[in-house]
């Protein structure tokens, strides 16, 4: 009796409310709108295998799939029969039917369209029909109604100002993605006019239900086509309790890639990295002439060691270390040849006398690359640490300067938050590197 009275008290209710809120945060809320109900009926009436998953809304993530019962490690969580897969072939058949119904007499050359282009065209036409409130005759119409209404968080859509605040490596990839889009778009236009076009073959498919699964780098899964059941199956090796969100793993991707391709970022993503190519190139090394720097960069290029220098959580790329060990050797040599302060690596006549030094440097460096030697020597290793610190300081400065600029932008804009997180993660990575002092020091060598 006493216990019962206590359970009805205010503290109990507050605690219950708090527990409920925090479990909602983890578990999300089930979505039961008309579109979802129609989708479930469509799946069932067409023989889609039963799943222990339902659509939910999860705080901080959005829609995803929730376990309706306990799921054990090793269970197949989704099995998509072939007829539910929106493949290139399936879409082309649907497009042909659509064109026929529209009275289009043009014979499209289906060899000239890739899977990605055909699926995009099909989805765009379906969306257009939906907007015009025309009845869809597509087998997939119940699924198409559930596709996200917008997808604007990709850097593809960033305006020039925000685009300029992305790390350089991301900018290059976004530009490539924009060019690819332009190419695909033009190819689809040529296909519609039945002009000849050139398309590279790809192999993608859209899978109802399966495509509601969100990504987690911790999710352990296997996805493969089962030839005996003719289904694409997802097996999870991560168990889930009833009410938890189930995830798949889109691959070992860093946040640059995830933001560009999927429009979100993860915190503490173990695959994140900081690119320091620019910092390496602009590093000022005493006694290194412009000609010597160029010669060294050309040498690194010829050996396949130029660029792609990265820092990861407590890990410096071998490429960066190896390039640095090579690049700063002439500083050491410049100390030994104090009467001549110009570069060992220059090609001027006065420097030819230093060719033997150059040969020694290259020989030592090749031993490093082959793994025959670990370091050039202790002095070189000391200098490597000094220059690594400089690189870290420059990388942190760039991140902090960009974050300062981002402070002026709308703090509630999702894309701004994503870009901020990218730079904050960069600071975390650089600071995780042991040589870097927490309070920045600037060197004057």
By CB under 6 A, tell whether 150 contacts ligand SAM: no
The residue (of 62 and 286) whose beta carbon lies closer to ligand SAM is: 62
> Could you tell me the smallest distance in angstroms from the CB atom of residue 271 to ligand SAM?
13
The residue (of 61 and 125) whose beta carbon lies closer to ligand SAM is: 61
CB 66 within 8 A of CB 28: yes
The residue range among 60-68, 120-128, 290-298, 392-400 that interacts with ligand SAM, by the rule CB under 6 A, is: 60-68
> Could you tell me the smallest distance in angstroms from the CB atom of residue 392 to ligand SAM?
29
Angle at the Cα of 317 (from 162 to 384), degrees rounded to 5?
A: 105
When binding is defined by CB under 6 A, the residue of 215, 296, 390, 420 that contacts ligand SAM is 215
The residue (of 61 and 373) whose beta carbon lies closer to ligand SAM is: 61
> Could you tell me the smallest distance in angstroms from the CB atom of residue 125 to ligand SAM?
20
The residue (of 117 and 269) whose beta carbon lies closer to ligand SAM is: 269
The residue (of 147 and 192) whose beta carbon lies closer to ligand SAM is: 147
The residue (of 245 and 358) whose beta carbon lies closer to ligand SAM is: 245
CA dist 389 and 170 (Å) reads 24
Longest Cα–Cα distance of the chain, Å, equals 101
Please give the C-alpha separations between residue 16 and each of 6, 12, 23, 244, 435, in angstroms, as whole numbers: 13, 6, 10, 19, 48
> Could you tell me the smallest distance in angstroms from the CB atom of residue 178 to ligand SAM?
18
Question: Count of residues binding ligand SAM (CB under 6 A)?
Answer: 14
Pairing of strands 214-215, 245-248: parallel
> Could you tell me the smallest distance in angstroms from the CB atom of residue 299 to ligand SAM?
42
> Could you tell me the smallest distance in angstroms from the CB atom of residue 250 to ligand SAM?
7
- Tell me the sheet residues that pair with 56: 30, 64
By CB under 6 A, tell whether 418 contacts ligand SAM: no
The residue (of 184 and 211) whose beta carbon lies closer to ligand SAM is: 211
Q: Binding to ligand SAM (CB under 6 A): which residues in 84-123?
A: none
By CB under 6 A, tell whether 420 contacts ligand SAM: no
The residue (of 61 and 337) whose beta carbon lies closer to ligand SAM is: 61
When binding is defined by CB under 6 A, the residue of 31, 40, 54, 63 that contacts ligand SAM is 63
By CB under 6 A, tell whether 61 contacts ligand SAM: yes
Q: Which of 84, 107, 86, 87 is nearest to 96 (CA)?
A: 107
By CB under 6 A, tell whether 262 contacts ligand SAM: yes
The residue range among 177-185, 257-265, 363-371, 389-397 that interacts with ligand SAM, by the rule CB under 6 A, is: 257-265
Binding string, residues 192-211; x marks residues near ligand SAM by CB under 6 A: -------------------x
The residue (of 253 and 364) whose beta carbon lies closer to ligand SAM is: 253
CA dist 309 and 320 (Å) reads 5
Q: Which of 76, 51, 54, 49 is nearest to 65 (CA)?
A: 54
When binding is defined by CB under 6 A, the residue of 28, 56, 64, 208 that contacts ligand SAM is 64
The residue (of 199 and 419) whose beta carbon lies closer to ligand SAM is: 419
Binding string, residues 18-57; x marks residues near ligand SAM by CB under 6 A: ----------------------------------------
Which tokens is 195 given?
């002009």
Residue recorded with tokens 């332009």:
182
Binding string, residues 263-282; x marks residues near ligand SAM by CB under 6 A: xx------------------
By CB under 6 A, tell whether 156 contacts ligand SAM: no
Q: Binding to ligand SAM (CB under 6 A): which residues in 219-238?
A: none
> Could you tell me the smallest distance in angstroms from the CB atom of residue 154 to ligand SAM?
8
The residue (of 214 and 332) whose beta carbon lies closer to ligand SAM is: 214
Binding residues (CB under 6 A) for ligand SAM: these are 61-64, 148, 211-216, 262-264
């Amino acid at each position: 009796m006493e216990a019962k009275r206590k359970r009805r008290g205010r503290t109990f209710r507050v605690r219950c409310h708090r527990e409920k809120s925090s479990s909602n945060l983890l578990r999300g809320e089930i979505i039961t709108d008309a579109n979802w109900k129609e989708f479930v009926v469509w799946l069932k009436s067409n023989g889609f295998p039963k799943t222990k998953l339902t659509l939910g809304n999860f705080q901080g993530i959005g829609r995803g799939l929730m376990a309706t019962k306990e799921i054990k490690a090793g269970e197949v969580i989704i099995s998509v029969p072939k007829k539910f897969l929106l493949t290139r072939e399936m879409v082309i058949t649907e497009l042909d039917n659509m064109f026929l119904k529209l009275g289009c007499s043009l014979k499209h050359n289906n060899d000239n369209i890739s899977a990605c282009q055909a699926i995009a065209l099909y989805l765009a036409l379906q969306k257009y029909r939906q907007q015009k409130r025309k009845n869809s005759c597509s087998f997939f119409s119940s699924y198409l109604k559930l596709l996200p209404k917008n997808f604007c968080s990709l850097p593809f859509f960033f305006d020039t100002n925000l685009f300029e605040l992305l790390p350089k490596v991301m900018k290059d990839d976004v530009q490539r993605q924009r060019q690819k889009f332009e190419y695909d778009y033009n190819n689809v236009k040529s296909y519609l006019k039945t002009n000849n076009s050139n398309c590279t073959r790809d192999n993608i498919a859209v899978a109802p239900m399966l495509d509601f699964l969100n990504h987690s780098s911790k999710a352990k899964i296997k996805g493969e086509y089962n030839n005996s059941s003719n289904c694409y199956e997802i097996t999870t090796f991560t168990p889930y309790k009833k009410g938890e969100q189930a995830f798949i793993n889109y691959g070992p991707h860093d946040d640059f890639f995830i933001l560009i391709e999927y429009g979100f970022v993860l915190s503490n993503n173990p695959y994140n990295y900081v690119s320091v190519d620019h910092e390496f190139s602009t590093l000022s090394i005493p006694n290194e002439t412009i000609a010597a720097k160029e010669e060294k960069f050309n040498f690194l290029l010829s050996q396949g060691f130029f660029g792609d220098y990265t820092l990861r959580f407590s890990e410096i790329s071998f490429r960066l270390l190896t390039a640095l060990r090579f690049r700063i050797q002439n500083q050491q040599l410049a100390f030994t040849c104090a009467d001549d302060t110009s570069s060992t690596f220059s090609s001027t006549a006065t420097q030819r006398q230093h060719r033997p030094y150059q040969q020694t440097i290259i020989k030592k460096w090749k031993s490093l690359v082959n793994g025959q030697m670990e370091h050039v020597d202790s002095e070189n290793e000391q200098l490597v640490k000094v220059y690594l610190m400089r690189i870290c300081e420059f990388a942190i400065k760039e991140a902090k300067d960009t974050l300062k600029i981002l402070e002026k932008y709308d703090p509630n804009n999702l894309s701004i938050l994503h870009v901020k997180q990218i730079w904050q993660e960069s600071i975390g990575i650089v600071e995780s590197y042991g040589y870097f002092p927490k309070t920045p020091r600037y060197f004057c060598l």
